[in-house]
Amino acid sequence: MPTVVFTTTSDIEASVVIALLDSQGIPSFRASGNSHSVWPMAVSALGEIRIAVADDLADDARRIIDSHRQDVGAKVVRLRDEFDDLQARIGYRFRDRGLLEHALTHKSRAAEDASGGVTDNESLEFLGDAVLGLVVADTLFHQYPNYDEGQKSKVKAAVVSTQSLARHAERLRLGEHLILGRGEEKTGGRFKQALLADGYEALIAALYLDGGLEAAEMFLRKELKDAIDEGSAQTFVRDHKSALQERLQALGRPLPEYRVSGEAGPDHRKTFSVEVVVNGEVLGTATGRAKKEAEQEAARLALARLE
């Protein structure tokens, strides 16, 4: 008869414990602990995830878990404090830690969970995008009242671009905490700009839901200050496509061609990968929420390569 040896509300903590037991030669699985259930659910009605092992291995399993609460695998970590470093970098401690875990869970991880108890962060991305847009627009409205609509829109577009958000996520080391499926993990998902930007927006939504608009606004005003100041100094996003065209003409080379090399995501959150090609040679590749955004970034990379 299986025996429950560990209970948690954290999916990532459950995964750590299962991996720990497996490394010690003790098979374990997620179960409700209900011995009368033919198909035990991995998540209880209270949202608890229960880890069970064979009855004769229960004592050994508990001993291993207790002895590794401060040292799991090669990384020192307390099982219930897996997000402490990230919260310190954010400057905010969540009352509902589940919101933070939800914000960091990619759809590839949810798709691999047979229990259906794991929810991905796409809905939080949608909400975070709206909160981000509101805070940036409000900041520009009050900080630069003399800018016209076009100038404010161009600064805002630069601040909330995929590339800009991914850079902020990288500074927070957000990629280290993303909860990914095995396939996404193997293909470098922790370093993909689109995933980092999406995770950053989901984090904004989690802050908003946990601490209200004030918490999200305090975080964003600190995070985005330099980006807004830089954008306002320029008052417009540099037209890298025109600059690339001029550079190629000066070099006597053909005009660039932009082509979409891939699309990903749902219709309301689609991202585009664009290549800039000159005489059959790919000089730059970039990803963005809009084709024009990706084209500008690809052109910037192509200019850097030519220079």
Give the residue numbers annotated as catalytic, written as ranges: 129, 201
- Name the one residue in this structure whose structure tokens are 């429950």: 4
CA distance 95 to 279: 56
Degrees, nearest 5: CA angle 89-104-160: 70
Degrees, nearest 5: CA angle 118-120-122: 160
CA distance 264 to 256: 24
Degrees, nearest 5: CA angle 92-96-97: 75
Q: Strand 49-54 relative to strand 257-264: parallel, antiparallel, unpaired?
A: unpaired
Count of helix runs (H) and strand runs (E) in the chain: 12, 6
